[in-house]
Amino acid sequence: MKRAGAILPVMVVCMALLAVFAVSVCAADVIPLAVLEQEVTCSPEVLEAAASVAESTALEERQRAENGPRWFANVSLSGNREPLVHRNDTDDEWYSELSLQAGIQIPLFGTWRKERIKELEAAVRTLEEQRRLSVLKKANLIALRKAYILLWTNQRKQAFLERFLRLEPQLLPLLEARTKSGFLLERDRLEMESWFSYARRTLSSSALTSEEAMRVVRKATGRGSLQRFTTETPHLPDVAYSNELLSRYVREEAGDELSFLDRTIDKKEEIARHAPRSQYEAFLRAGVGFYREFPGGDGSNVFITLGFDVPWGEAKAAAAAGRASRASIERSRQEREIRQRDLLSDITEGLARYDYGISQREFSFVRLRSAAEGVREGRLRHASLPGDTLEQLFRDIFNYFSASMDLIESEGMILQTHAELLGAIPMLRTGYETADRLISSSFPEDGEALSPSWIALDKDTGGPAGSTARDIRPGLYLWSGDTLLSDGADRTLRTVRDAGFSRALVSFTGKGIARLRDTAVRERLDKTLSAAKASGLSVELLLGDPSWILAEHRKELLLLVSDLKSLNFSGLHLDLEPDQLAGSATRRKELLESLIDTVQAVSAIAPWPLGLSVHPRYLEGELGPIAAKGFARAKVSEVTVMVYSTNVEAVIRRMKAIGRQWPALHLSLAISVEKTLPPSESFFSRGTRRVRDIIQTIQHQLSSPVFSGVVVQAWEDYREMAR
């Protein structure tokens, strides 16, 4: 009965979550999606299904315990009459007998099969309840996410709707006056007045759908008294998708559901093997007996009995049982086939809806920027020109208002479809590099183009539409740092700066490090570094030897940093790649922890800001939390993620996913132009002009306060690229 009590821990957890939830709601009106997701298992439907699983599990255990050998005992008192023969006379003898029998009864043949069928049928009921629980949990989570997204969408709309309706008392009197003066047709005035009715209708509709969404949230979390709250931007996990892995997605993500059906079919197939031969009873009894006769003495015996109980229509019953079992198997197989097809359709249809949503958003965003530019120009005309500029400005504002509604709606649709796909496509911890696409829903480029401040008659204070990306000039890895120790140092750095780079991570060879021990060389390098800094070029020291990760070699790095820390570098960047060490594939966690120890030791003695280059796998999956906490503890000021792929969209989505997961880290992106790498990993064949456009696109898409820009690997290859 131990498993039957599994519902109790769930209820205890739900009570604890309720207490924490109550405190969090009292403390703030904002409730993140992640907090509500923890409450999904507290839904009454889930708790009912969990209780049903516990019940069926207990009944299955009871059935299993009842099967098999049984003890038996019986006591009987009988009066006996037996003929007594004495010489030639016949007479009867009367006496009483008290007997006691005890032993064991073992089911055989049909009886054993019948007991096994009962046990299998109980197991099938448990599997069905477990599948129902699994489906309910997933459905609840998807419904909760979609309801939260709808609330978030409506709250975004509300800000624009309320801002638009604020114009009504300001504009209607002006429009009426212009109509009376003959400057505005009554038809046009009524049309403009209807725009406010449209906004009020949309606001009422949003209030209705928000209440419907709140009903889903209350049901999914079991929080019946939960009132309307403020949402945060929903952050859904990214998922990697590949056409080649479509069937695997169904097996893995629907693993519980299809696995339960497969196991149910296995149980039913075993039932079908037993059913035709279980239509009769058979048992073996063995034991001892004791008896006393009155009058008379005591006695005992030992016995063994083989018994059968066969119905008259056993053959027909066996045939019917076989047909019923086979039909039950076929029903389950068809149910599994239907579910698998539904899951495949959910993925393909979901991807089509997601693509449509992306296309719709792209159109809406272009339309929004155009409308924002129209508002900006309309304000300028209205402020300086006579005529119908007020009506035209109002039309421009309404166009912007409509475009903002469409954009917000399209982004909500994308997120809702993303939530549905999360229920069908597994979140792969690896495979981003080979995936056809990465499904991600993030809209940082909305920026100031999507702002209620555009819905006003006065001058726009938000800046020009679409000007959201920061002007970040890229950096590069420069491995031929020994050239900075010669007379051509200034020329080298000037060439780097003129190529459009604002920072250089400079590495020296062993010979170069040896030369830096010379005072004159150090002084000359210091002057070069100061001149570069004055010209807007940041030069950072780049050190890279994977053996320094290991504790036995860590002291070498620390001594080197101590020896060079008087130089006027703008920062220190470590390129210590664990994957270059022997056997790294099987001990990445161990090497990551050792890397963190090394970085922490360097951070304690280095006088410069500390940066670190890492492979993205160390910020994903089970390694991610270790790396993020360790780098923060080591006070790493920048983590450069080396995503060597020419699939720009996949690179951007992957970086966005890492940035959302670890918002406390300051990230930059390393891309490759190395001529030794294949075109799928290196942009070398694209030419410098195209690479600059790609860098600009990436930096625009990833623009945020914690993104430090793109770093190109490496200068030696870049300067050999065609234009």
DSSP letter for 230, please.
B
What was the pLDDT predicted at 320? 92
| Lowest-confidence pick of 9-23, 54-68, 567-581, 631-645 | 9-23
Report pLDDT digits (tens) over 342-352.
888 888 898 89
Q: State mean pLDDT over 610-621.
A: 90
DSSP letter for 238, please.
P
Strands (E), 548-616: 571-574, 610-614
What was the pLDDT predicted at 107? 93
What was the pLDDT predicted at 25? 44
Residue among 393, 404, 395, 399 at smallest CA distance from 448: 404
Alpha-carbon distance of 532 to 495, in angstroms, equals 11
Asked if pLDDT for residue 17 goes beyond 70, the answer is no
Residue 520 lies in a domain: yes
Residue 651 lies in a domain: yes
Measured in degrees and rounded to the nearest 5, phi and psi for residue 501 equal -105, 145
Q: How many residues does the chain have?
A: 723
Asked if pLDDT for residue 304 goes beyond 80, the answer is yes
Sheet with 70-86: strands ordered across:
70-86, 89-107, 281-294, 298-309
Residue 694 lies in a domain: yes
Residue 533 lies in a domain: yes
What was the pLDDT predicted at 465? 36
Residue 608 lies in a domain: yes
Asked if pLDDT for residue 28 goes beyond 80, the answer is no
What was the pLDDT predicted at 93? 73
| Lowest-confidence pick of 132-146, 409-423, 467-481 | 467-481
Query: Between 472 and 388, whose confidence is greater?
Result: 388
Supply the DSSP string of 342-409, one letter for each residue.
HHHHHHHHHHHHHHHHHHHHHHHHHHHHHHHHHHHHHHHHHHH--STHHHHHHHHHHHHHHHHHHHHH
Asked if pLDDT for residue 464 goes beyond 70, the answer is no
Which amino acid is located at 452 in the chain? P
Report pLDDT digits (tens) over 181-223.
888 888 988 999 999 999 999 999 999 999 999 999 999 888 8
Q: Is the peptide bond before 295 cis (omega within 30 degrees of 0)?
A: yes
Asked if pLDDT for residue 405 goes beyond 90, the answer is yes
DSSP letter for 682, please.
B
Asked if pLDDT for residue 49 goes beyond 60, the answer is yes
Give the count of alpha carbons within 13 A of 639, CB side only: 31
CATH of the domain at 572: 3.20.20.80
Share of the chain above pLDDT 90, in %: 28
What is the rounded radius of gyration, in angstroms, for the C-alpha atoms of the chain? 39
Residue 644 lies in a domain: yes
Residue 2 lies in a domain: no
Neighbours of 23 (CB within 10 A): 10
What was the pLDDT predicted at 448? 60
Alpha-carbon distance of 470 to 487, in angstroms, equals 35
Q: Do strands 707-713 and 475-478 pair parallel, antiparallel, or not at all (unpaired)?
A: parallel
What was the pLDDT predicted at 444? 52
What integer best gives the mean pLDDT of the chain?
83
Residue 32 lies in a domain: no
Share of the chain above pLDDT 70, in %: 87
Measured in degrees and rounded to the nearest 5, phi and psi for residue 346 equal -60, -40
- Helix H or strand E encompassing 506: strand 503-506
What was the pLDDT predicted at 428? 53
pLDDT band at 334 (very low <50, low <70, confident <90, very high): very high
Alpha-carbon distance of 5 to 61, in angstroms, equals 12
Alpha-carbon distance of 698 to 646, in angstroms, equals 12
Asked if pLDDT for residue 466 goes beyond 50, the answer is no
Report pLDDT digits (tens) over 259-295.
888 899 999 998 999 889 888 889 999 999 998 888 7
Asked if pLDDT for residue 446 goes beyond 60, the answer is no
- Domain housing 681: 475-718
Q: Provide the phi-psi class of 296: left if phi over 0, else alpha when psi is between -120 and 50, else beta.
A: left
pLDDT band at 11 (very low <50, low <70, confident <90, very high): very low
Q: State mean pLDDT over 48-52.
A: 90
Token digits for 284?
A: 């073996």
How many distinct structural domains can be found in the chain?
A: 1
